[in-house]
Amino acid sequence: MLSELAKPVMYLSGVGPKKSELYEKLGVKTVYDLLYHFPRYYIDLNEPQAVRDAPLNEQVVLKGRVVRKLPEGNIRRGLTVYKAIVTDDTADITIVIYNAGFMFKALEVGHEYYLVGKLTGNMLRREINSPQIYPVAGTDPVQPVYRLTEGLTQKQLRQNVHTALGALDGSIYEPLPNDVVREQGLCSLSYALQNVHYPTDMHTLELAKSRLVFDELLTLALGMLMMKNRSRDNTGCQMNDESVDEYFSALPFELTAGQKSAINDCIEDMRKPFPMNRLIQGDVGSGKTAVAAGAAYFAYKNGCQTALMAPTEILAGQHYDTLKAFLEPLGVKVVLLTGSLTPKKKEKIKAEIAAGEYNVIVGTHALVQASTEFKRLGLVITDEQHRFGVEQRAMLAGKGDHPHKLVMSATPIPRTLALMIYGDLDISVLKELPKGRQPVETYAVTGKLRERAFGYVKQYLEEGRQAYIVCPMIEESDSDLRDVKSYAKEISEGAFSGYRVGLLHGRLSAESKEKVMKKFKAHELDILVSTTVVEVGVDVPNAAVMVIENSDRFGLSQLHQLRGRVGRGEHKSVCILITDNPTEEVVQRLKILSSCHDGFEISQQDLKLRGPGDFFGSRQHGLPKMKIADMSQDMDVLVRAQETAKQILCKDTHLDKGENRGLRELVERLFEQETAND
């Protein structure tokens, strides 16, 4: 990198120690960081609206001439109002400024200004309160708006960026190999940086942005692929060609085509000399466990142990039951190892595992962390791994004698996004649900119909079914949300008095959670009031109804995951989405769930409606944070970036070559930043 750019921002003329502290708060340490502190958005002054046509109560851009300045008025002590009349010859408008006398004084009669703000009043008497005012002469037509911190103004930041751009001036600083720039039709980096901060019009801005977005996604793709390559050391458990036909024929059902091909993908992977790194992605109920069992059976046939890890004891127990049912008839020994066993029992089981008496070991994640010794661990399967970050995956990859790894996830992410998030994994997708599965009937209703909805639930309870009622939060502070505790109390004394109501939320200890869940599973409870902790793959086939309160608070994908908790048995199932916020938009959104039962399609809709926040907001995937790329919008760039990354790494695995040095720096910067922030 240019040495000028690596300098602390403090040494930039016009910054100094005090301001550099403010910059630090924005995450800006060096001149480079400042150049990459991109505007949050832009105000385009190029096309002001005619005052006559400008809508009320919306942010508008106007351009007009000051006709008259009115005498200042004092509303009360300490509050002075300044007014001026402006016209653009289509209509007049009154500028209202509070207290900021200097702004008012700067206005000159007869001069033209851009005004940015909200219009109020009516069509006859329009006002604009505390607008941003720019003199037409000497103002750049596209104004960037930056994220600020107290003590720093837009103007100062803009000026400092200007100085920083000077450090680039005339240089040929270019981290991308020349042929990539050419093939992708990108502008130069210095042009991009110049124009992302100082665009002359929206077109140059687009050019600049597309360059920077490409850089960012290419860097991310390179990092993910390099991570994948890193875990490609030889495995200690390369497996031979052994058929798993017995497994297929012993199952009580016919596997779906997706399940079969996913199992075949696994088998093919495990025959290779380096470890498998595969993600099985399938909607709720698509039968991922049967795939996992198939892979485990293959490992067994090759004399290897399999460890299956689940995030909770309940899930571990569930997987244990399933695997046992599928595999024990075939002679496979399955064991459950969880924290709730007595120490003595645990020791015994551990000794037996080490002696190789078990082939498949099911347990919670603590299982691997604990010093469990295996006989010949060939396959590690993790469920719901999407809650873990990229780094944890990399860490796991470094453990043991490079066992094969299989990850199961129900997060229905569109394939392109999955490719990025799980860039270090190969993916098998289970597209269809097993035959005969009835979709969960879904209704969206307003709070007014709550009583009726409850009546409906009661019918199910009378027939011996069970129900979930999901409420988003436990916090009492958020007054418009129902707090689950008081909610549970309310309904158990009111609408559902006489029924057995249990409560499950995130603040309970793991032990208490397990207890409640076990009781629900054993049908010692009729209704389970819960926060979203119930989201993870719990299987209670007798639960056939779900009510979701405040459903507008959830993304569609999450709602879909939630309703996947019902409809797992032979009973007809229903999900009732209640909202007390029945705006047109909310209702439209919730209705999608009534007609659509495909998790992938729903997640696409979610992306369209809500943006990528659900996937990337909480950093639940552990991906580095993007500064300018928006992975839902820039999908095609994502694909191009990935292709390019593959081509580059194909010729230069570690980015050692001279022309790739700049790229390596970018990758290191992106991923290093991530670790520093955590």
Nearest to 491 by CA among 542, 554, 547, 559: 547
Which residues, numbered 230-249, are part of the site for Mg ion (CB under 5 A)?
none
Return the C-alpha torsion angle 276, 277, 282, 288, nearest 10.
50
Q: Where are the alpha helices (DSSP H) in 7-76?
A: 16-25, 31-35
Closer of 258 and 378 to ligand ADP (Cβ): 258
Amino acid identity at 137: A
Query: Going by DSSP bridges, is the β-strand pair 92-98/79-87 parallel, antiparallel, or unpaired?
Result: antiparallel
Instruction: Work out whether 282 is an interface residue with Mg ion (CB under 5 A).
Output: no
CB of 536 to ligand ADP, least distance (A): 10
Q: How many residues belong to the site for ligand ADP (CB under 6 A)?
A: 17
Interacting residues with Mg ion between 537 and 556 (CB under 5 A): 537
> 259 vs 338, which CB is nearer to ligand ADP?
259
* Single-letter code of the amino acid located at 485: K
> Distance between CA atoms of 533 and 544, rounded to whole angstroms?
18
Q: Concatenated DSSP letters for 301-328?
A: HTT-EEEEEESSHHHHHHHHHHHHHHHG
285 contact choice in ligand ADP, Mg ion, none (CB below 5 to 8 Å, kind-dependent): ligand ADP
Instruction: Determine, following the binding rule CB under 6 A, whether residue 569 of this chain makes contact with ligand ADP.
Output: no
Choose the binding region for Mg ion from 298-306, 332-340, 536-544, 561-569 (rule: CB under 5 A): 536-544
- In this chain, which stretch among 278-286, 348-356, 589-597, 625-633 interacts with ligand ADP, using CB under 6 A? 278-286
Q: What is the crossing angle of helices 635-651 and 202-230, to 10°?
A: 50
DSSP 8-state symbol, 30: B
Would you mind telling me the total number of residues written for the chain in this entry? 678
Residue 599 sits in the site that holds ligand ADP (CB under 6 A): no
Q: How far apart are CA 362 and CA 286, in angstroms?
A: 21
CA dist., res. 494 & res. 454, Å (int): 11
Binding partner of residue 210 among ligand ADP, Mg ion, none, CB cut-off 5 to 8 Å per kind = none
What is the spatial distance between Cα 94 and Cα 92, in angstroms, rounded to a whole number?
Answer: 7
Which is nearer to ligand ADP, 326 or 616 (by Cβ)? 326
Kindly state whether residue 219 participates in binding ligand ADP, applying the rule CB under 6 A: no
Nearer of residues 403 and 537 to Mg ion, judged by Cβ: 537
Q: Which stretch binds ligand ADP (CB under 6 A): 195-203, 288-296, 413-421, 654-662?
A: 288-296
Q: State which residue, 423 or 537, has the beta carbon closest to Mg ion.
A: 537
Binding positions for ligand ADP, 531-560, rule CB under 6 A: 537, 539
Phi, psi of 83 (to 5 degrees): -135, 145
Closest separation in Å from C-beta 619 to ligand ADP: 24
Q: Is 599 in the site for Mg ion (CB under 5 A)?
A: no
Closest approach, Cβ 319 to ligand ADP, in A, equals 8
Q: Which stretch binds Mg ion (CB under 5 A): 27-35, 448-456, 530-538, 604-612?
A: 530-538
How many CB atoms within 10 Å of residue 109?
A: 11
- CA-CA-CA-CA torsion for 643, 646, 647, 648, nearest 10 degrees? 120
Asked if residue 256 binds ligand ADP (CB under 6 A), the reply is yes
Q: How many Å apart are CA 552 and CA 589, to the nearest integer? A: 9
With CB under 6 A as the contact rule, the residue among 285, 317, 363, 502 that binds ligand ADP is 285
Question: Least distance to ligand ADP from the beta carbon of 567, Å?
Answer: 10
User: From CA 170, how far away is CA 168, in angstroms rounded?
Assistant: 6
- HSE (side-chain half, CA atoms, 13 Å) at 553: 15
- Which of 123, 555, 615 lies closest to 417, judged by CA? 615
Q: Does 255 bind ligand ADP (CB under 6 A)?
A: yes
Nearer to ligand ADP, 430 or 655 (CB): 430
Choose the binding region for ligand ADP from 24-32, 227-235, 277-285, 366-374 (rule: CB under 6 A).
277-285
The answer to whether 196 touches 39, Cβ cutoff 8 Å, is yes
Q: Coil, helix or strand for 52?
A: coil
Rounded distance, CA 234 to CA 224, Å?
A: 19
Contact partner at residue 282 from Mg ion, ligand ADP, none, CB < 5 to 8 Å by partner kind: ligand ADP
Residue 437 one-letter amino acid = R
Residue 278 touches ligand ADP, criterion: CB under 6 A:
no
Can residue 258 be called a binding residue for ligand ADP (CB under 6 A)? no
Residue 427 interacts with ligand ADP (CB under 6 A): yes or no: no
Smallest gap, in angstroms, from Cβ of residue 404 to ligand ADP? 20
434 lines the binding site for ligand ADP (CB under 6 A): yes
- What is the dihedral angle through the alpha carbons of 558, 563, 564, 569, rounded to the nearest 10 degrees? 170
Nearest distance, CB of residue 408 and ligand ADP, angstroms: 7
Selection from Mg ion, ligand ADP, none that 434 binds (CB < 5 to 8 A by kind) is ligand ADP
Stretch binding Mg ion (CB under 5 A), from 101-109, 152-160, 475-483, 534-542? 534-542
Q: Taking the alpha carbons of 631, 634, 639, 644 in that order, is the dihedral positive or negative? A: negative
400 binds Mg ion (CB under 5 A): no
First to last CA, the chain: 25
Structure tokens that stand for 437 in this block: 């599965």
Task: Check binding of 439 to ligand ADP (CB under 6 A).
Answer: no
426-434, 455-463, 535-543, 558-566 -> range binding Mg ion (CB under 5 A): 535-543
Residue with CB nearest ligand ADP?
Answer: 287
Question: Which neighbouring-strand residues pair with 68?
Answer: 85
State which residue, 265 or 674, has the beta carbon closest to ligand ADP: 265
Give the binding site for ligand ADP (CB under 6 A).
253-256, 259, 282, 284-290, 410, 434, 537, 539
Report the interface residues with Mg ion, using CB under 5 A: 537
